[in-house]
Amino acid sequence: MFQDKNARIIKTESWGNYFLLRLAAAEIAQKSKPGQFLMIRVSPGLNPLLRRPLSIHDCSGSEVEIFFQVTGKGTELLSQKKPGDHLDVLGPCGGGFSLLPEFKDKEIFCVGGGRGLAPLYFLARELQTAGARPVVFYGGQTLSDLPLKKRLDEAGWETNFSTDDGSFGFHGLVTQLAEKELMKRKPSFLFGCGPEAMMTRLAEICQQAVLPAEFSLESIMGCGLGACWGCSRKIKKNGEIKYLRICQDGPVFPAEEIIWSGD
């Protein structure tokens, strides 16, 4: 865990409401694993006050990337940053996705809805490096919700796209697309990240198909360090239901441990 008060923005990219920032933060980058996140101070002032949690979208050498959607004041301020600006970044926070040796040569589904794709890009890249066969599913409401399409097309693994309105790829929900493919292809594992309703449905599908899965959860966060217990959510650990910290005990949890908010 490091606090880099002066992480320099090297590159920015944007597509409508979606933004990608690349940061020079050597100590953080060297320790980062897929599924971990950063706590970013979006402004040096006191309003907004708290840091914003954002997944590590990619990481190489001394650089890390974040990919985010503007949903409020904090992400809005972050979207206005320019190359050469500096950010106060804390990370890597939390634990990552499980990268198991038995994934080698196996198909691993990575299913992301909207900005939920953020942590899955880094994950798919690491899976590929480890000799697994990542299959990415990327869904959004409409084509403009798939800004990472080009990047994924160039990634060298299979990506399947879906849009709710049929403007690109499979016409329907990404969960429907993943379910269809899952029945056919019998992957060894599934990783998911996205809106709660999407992950809830995906978890049901995995349970029916007896497919082990992990999901990355979100919660408002105070510290990101495990110190405030502000991010807690009910999780089933060893048969016992208790409030665990999303930031420290997660954000990634095995499907069977998660109690979905609709349940």
Partner 1 sequence: MVDLSVDLGFLKLKNPVMAASGTFGYGLEFQPLYNLNLLGGLVVKGLYFKPREGNPPPRLAESPCGLINSIGLQGIGVEAFCREILPWLADLTTAVIANVCGEEEGEYARVAEYLSRHPGLAALELNISCPNVREGGKCPAQDPEATYRTVKRVRQASSLPLITKLSPNVTDITAVALAAQEAGSQAVSLVNTFLALAIDLESRKPKLGNVLGGLSGPAIKPLAMRMVFEVARKVKIPVIGLGGIFNYQDALEFMVAGASAVQVGTANFVNPQACPEIIKGIEDWAESQGIKRLSEIVGSLKF
Which parts of this chain interact with ligand FES (CB under 6 A)?
221-224, 226-231, 245, 247-248
The verdict on 231 binding partner 1 (CB under 8 A) reads yes
Q: Which does residue 90 bind out of ligand FES, partner 1, ligand FMN, none, counting CB within 5 to 8 angstroms by kind?
A: partner 1
Contact between 81 and 21 under an 8 Å Cβ cutoff? The reply is yes
The verdict on 95 binding ligand FMN (CB under 6 A) reads no
Q: Which does residue 211 bind out of partner 1, ligand FAD, ligand FMN, none, counting CB within 5 to 8 angstroms by kind?
A: none
CA distances from 259 to 124, 164, 186, 201, 235 (A): 26, 26, 25, 12, 6
The verdict on 72 binding ligand FAD (CB under 6 A) reads yes
Contact between 132 and 123 under an 8 Å Cβ cutoff? The reply is no
Classify each residue of 39-51 as buried b or exposed e, where b means 16 or more C-beta atoms within 10 Å of its C-beta.
bbbbbeeeebeeb
Smallest distance, ligand FAD to C-beta of residue 169, A: 21
Smallest distance, ligand FAD to C-beta of residue 186, A: 29
The verdict on 138 binding ligand FAD (CB under 6 A) reads no
CA distances from 38 to 4, 105, 116, 261, 262 (A): 11, 31, 15, 24, 28
> Alpha-carbon distance 147 to 115, whole Å?
9
Which residue among 118, 120, 152, 223 contacts ligand FAD (CB under 6 A)? Answer: 118
The verdict on 228 binding ligand FMN (CB under 6 A) reads yes
The verdict on 201 binding partner 1 (CB under 8 A) reads no
